[in-house]
Amino acid sequence: DWIMGDYIEEAVAKIREQVGDEEVILGLSGGVDSSVAAALIHRAIGDQLTCVFVDHGLLRLNEGDMVMEMFEGKLHAKVIRVDASDLFLGKLAGVSEPEAKRKIIGGLFVDVFKAEADKLKAGDGGHKGATFLAQGTIYPDVIESGGAKSKKAVTIKSHHNVGGLPEQLGLKLLEPLRDLFKDEVRELGVALGLPRGMVYRHPFPGPGLGVRILGEVKKEYADLLRRADAIFIEELNNWVDDATGKTWYDLTSQAFTVFLPVKSVGVMGDGRTYDYVVALRAVQTSDFMTADWAELPYGLLKRVSNRIINEVRGINRVTYDVSSKPPATIEWE
Ligand code: XMP
């Protein structure tokens, strides 16, 4: 609408004034905040922005390609995609403790990002090098970073909106979303032409599937989980609730699949199977501090379960998590 149009014009002018003819680096994760920040900054300064997208190999099905298609393909932004999946999986081998996994993923993420940023900072022939680091920090992040938070949350925010990184890199900070609440960021994203599906997506943790594969992370597990989760999300998007006219994806705050590295027995045709188990998790919450498990329609659960078991060879049992937070958490790790 026109109010958002005015806002964009003002924000664009401010970014141009702040940046001048200098260059900006932005860590793109595919999440709402960094995506909207990238789209806004790109609108303001075009090729003076370079996005760095670190693919840790723990993203959802086709997620990396979708991010590239949107930012490079549609918006024509400069994006460097760093495929670091082997590096991450290698360092995660043999590690099963959740906080240890988070530390490894968060630490490597910063290392890989810094290495790319250092190259961009140095510049090359005819290129003077970046002087700004852009981050998708939003207003709630600004407030939260003052107060006490759980260890999990601190690890998180230190992941993508990396505290202290601009100083370490010797870069100036550009944070165009600092005054906005989440809803405003979403509206801004839509006004900038980002697809609604990207802007209204459920939150996804920085460590990604790394904390949705219980215990040790293996590529085989991640591949199975990605396929099962894609089916769950697709069906949540297909299933419309008659009473509200909304999809079950929109009626839940966060929904995903968890990989359990245990095998159970099943039958298929004349044969016996001995395969992995997944759990579906779907919650409704306003603040993610407390959450209720969602009362998904049985028909939806039935279809998701049938599809996963029939389509994903290697998984033969699907369970639904009926635990609320507290005492359970939303994620399983
Ligand atoms: P829990 O599991 O603590 O999750 O009930 C609350 C919210 O935080 C998200 N979460 C994370 N986000 N890095 C993130 O970026 C993390 O390590 C992490 N752990 C939990 C979770 O997805 C939920 O939205």
Cα distance between residue 279 and residue 320, in whole Å: 5
Residue of 54, 60, 182, 288 with the most ligand 1 atoms within 8 Å of its CB, for mutation: 288
Residue 32 labelled as part of a binding site: yes
CA nearest neighbour of 296 among 237, 228, 213: 237
Domain with residue 163: its CATH number is 3.40.50.620
Residue 29 Cβ < 6 Å to ligand 1: no
**Helix H or strand E encompassing 54:** strand 49-55
pLDDT at residue 149 above 60?
Answer: no
Specify the pLDDT at position 162: 54
**pLDDT for residue 155:** 45
Q: Is 31 annotated as a binding residue?
A: yes
pTM for this model (two decimals):
0.93
Mean pLDDT of 64-82: 97
**Inside any domain, residue 52:** yes
How far, in Å, is the centroid of ligand 1 from the Cα of 289?
A: 10
Q: Which of 1-10, 60-69, 165-174, 252-261 has the lowest mean pLDDT?
A: 1-10
Do 42 and 189 share a structural domain? yes
Domain extent, residue 94, equals: 2-199
With 60 as the cut, is the pLDDT of residue 259 above it? Answer: yes
Task: Give the residue, out of 105, 141, 156, with the most ligand 1 atoms within 8 A of its beta carbon, to mutate for a pocket test.
Answer: 156
CA distance 25 to 162: 13
In percent, the amount of the chain with pLDDT more than 90 equals: 87
Query: 182-230 pLDDT, tens per residue?
Result: 999 999 999 999 999 999 999 999 999 999 999 999 999 999 999 999 9
* ipTM field: 0.99
Contacts 24+ apart (CB under 8 A), 148-154: 151/99, 152/102
Average the pLDDT over 265-282 and give the result: 96
Whether 330 is in the pocket of ligand 1, judged by its Cβ within 6 Å, is yes
In the structure encoding, which two tokens stand for residue 10, read together?
A: 């003002």
Q: Is the pLDDT of residue 175 over 70?
A: yes
- Ligand 1: which of 229, 331, 333 to mutate, most ligand atoms within 8 Å of CB? 331
Q: Residues 95-117: pLDDT tens digits?
A: 999 999 999 999 999 999 999 99
Q: Which of 145, 177, 199 is the last residue of a domain?
A: 199
- 126: confidence class by pLDDT, cuts 50, 70, 90: low
Distance CA 265, CA 321 (A): 20
161 pLDDT more than 90 = no
Q: How many domains does the chain have?
A: 2
The reply to whether 122 and 81 lie within a common domain is yes
Pair 180, 56 in one domain: yes
> Which of the residue ranges 108-112, 157-161, 272-276 would you say has the lowest mean pLDDT?
157-161
Q: Given 199, 229, 246, which residue is the final one in a domain?
A: 199
Higher pLDDT, 179 or 143: 179
Domain identity same for 258 and 300: yes
Residues 227-251 pLDDT 10s: 999 999 999 999 999 999 999 999 9
Contacts of 325 (CB under 8 A, 6+ apart): 283, 285, 289, 290, 291
Nearest residue (by CA) to ligand 1, atom 4, is 330
What CATH number is associated with residue 262? Answer: 3.30.300.10
Cβ-contact 100, 215 below 8 angstroms: no
> Do 77 and 108 have their domain in common?
yes
